[in-house]
Structure 1
Amino acid sequence: MLKQILSVFMVMSLTVTAACTKAENEDTVTLTFVSTYDGKEAELIKARVKAFEQENPGIKVNVEEVAFGSASNYFKTALLGDQTLDAFRSDNSWVPEFVELGLLQPIDSLISPEDAADFNPTALQSVTIGDKLYGMPTVMEAPALLYNKRLLQENGYAAPPKTMDELMAMAKQMTAGGRYGIYVSDNSYFALPYVWAFGGDTMTDERKSHIASAESVQGLAFMYQLRKSGAAQPYSDFADDYNRMMNDFKEGKSAMIVNGPWAVSDLLNGTEFKNAANLGIAAVPAGPGGQGSPAGGHSLVVSKYSKHPNETYKLIHYLTNTETQTSQAKELKTLPSRLSVYEDSALASDAIVQDFKNVLELAKPRPRISEGAQMFDDFSPNLGQMLLGKITPQQAASNIDAAWRGLLKLDR
């Protein structure tokens, strides 16, 4: 009789437990977050996701890791194929196309005015299409003039160049004895500060091409003159361009390069920058037409087809909050998009972070049009041909302009 009673009690207990588990599962919201992070940053974000789940026991997050290079097509294919995705880490330049395809949920009604005011205005502007905000910026990027303080001082320079004329003169002066002044890359992303310095432009938000303007051609011609005058790298091609640029700078073969904050951790492993204080960071010099670098970076966005937009917003808010961005900046030297993070005592005394913050104040958004992410496809090849002296700056600009007019479907 006792066995029968115990058996009935166990069955009842298991039934109650199963019912409770089922109820809990029914109340749990499961989100899918497509991550394009890698390395240490990916590990940090996964740890933050776990912390989010602990603080929000009713929400479970599945993290799908996708390589950055294929992520844009992955996201578009998945959503247009009716797969369930909720949040995505997007390059800011992809956002206009995603919006045009109707893939993103605007978050204007979800973010508070106080919270929005904490973000760098340029970062928010980069993911604002029309009058709608479509992402929460997680990090910012902008190319800067990186320079070897020791080499500048040995050549009698106490400060980096402030103008393009000074850049030319200093680069020529420091080209001697197996060293050269500045590496000029054929990656057109790094050409934008030169174009803007002479008052030129690329594409605009109004879908106009300005790369063939006289001012834009002047900017391209200045880059060519750096090469032609012998102030830049002596190589006859751009083979392994990025690694060659980085290695020469790390080894003290070049005095200056144009690169962004993502390069810092690698540079600090170089012979010249074992002492981080030797790495100088300044805005790319101004020209007669102004100054500025392209504002790059990434934002977390919400899928238009998410069944849980409020919970998804809660997730992306957590992954872009002050605590997360402070950890990223301290551990990885990334540049926060939140203004309050720069006030952290450790970061306030971090020369690298603060110097890049000054560069960000001059940053400009890239074209916020659906074709904007493709602008470099024709720009870089023509830039490389120009820098090698195979076509003139005017020919390069005309070639790029023709390609862009076709891309934008403009009248010729």
Structure 2
Amino acid sequence: MTTPVYDDLTPVLRALRDGRPRTRAQLAREIGVSRSTMSTRVDDLLALGLVTPTGDAGSTGGRPASTFAFDPGARIVAGVDLGATHARIVLTDLAAHEILAHRVELRIASGPGPVLDQVVDVLHDLLDRADRDLADLAGVGVGLPGPVDHATGRPTKPPIMPGWDGHDVAGHLHTRLGSAPVLVDNDVNLMALAEHSSALPHVGHLLFVKIATGIGAGIIADGRVHRGAQGSAGDLGHVAVPGGDPVPCTCGNTGCLEAIAGSAAVAARLRTQGVDAVTNDDIVELVRGGSPVAANAVRDAGRAVGAVLASCVSLLNPSAIVVGGSMARVGEHLVAGIREVVYARPLPLATQNLRVTTSRTGASAGSLGGAWLAIEHAFATPGLLTRPVTPLVLPTPAPAPEAVPAG
């Protein structure tokens, strides 16, 4: 029996990834190999459980040819969205369909060791509940609430993550999760990826704006995440608001968007007007409860965001601006303020087909984006999905020595 060349199977998987069944002959023509070679490759993929028979293609005379389709449930991936006070962790199949998800309260300021170990415990629990093995895990995508060096996946001087600077997040998780690749990115990049891949796949140019305590943007250009030279593209929170008040910002500058329109800034402004507000949730409840003062404060914040985004529209010419993050839950007041400025300032050519809307992926955007990051890596890496799955057993820690009775 010949050993399959697993790297040669990846092009077949990529072709079948769109969900459209094909015959062996159709696949051979599409990929450019002989029918006998394709027959062998399809048989190998059937043995690996990555494709499944779907029926017959019909006949024009003679025996009808069988068709085959990709089975996205053959492997799974995990997406991890780490926030300042919580994490959302999801298992999906290779088409990003959610299998199980769990939200856990934690403090990112506790440091990488306690936080990442808690993530691993949740992942093991989800795998057990889904009746899947670590060997089924094709990758893990992790989003961090701070700057990430994309080349290394390490956080770079993250302002709200003490102890995380330069930490090998991928390596930390990899030692506890077997052979699965671990990929790390900024959380807003993953939100943009999720919105593009799950909700707006035909929008090749998209700007995802996360508005919460901090403000950031994920950029989709030509269907791909644009990260910039050092991975800091989209750092809207520290762009100066045109004509804005010189409010001090945590970065050391004044007049930054985050200092004027972030949720902490909005809450502080409300307190000066006698309205009790501290958190994102407080602002959301006030607006939903009909507070005109809160609604006006949120709309003003939207106008400040719109003033910065107007320049982005002229520079990047996106087809859609998607607003997410905890502040997006206030509804139309925030988006209305953004639209008011964004549609007025750039040239009409840049805005004639521009949509400004709230996120469709909502609170799951970050974790879903982590899953998509792992999925795209799996399909881009020859042989990663097509190696045989064998049960994976990690080494068991040595038992602690028994206590010796005092005597």
Between the two structures, name the one with larger relative contact order (CA 8 Å, sep ≥ 6). 1
More helix by share: 1
More strand by share: 2
Q: Same fold (TM over 0.5)?
A: no
Tell me the TM-score normalised to structure 1 length: 0.29
Tell me the TM-score normalised to structure 2 length: 0.29
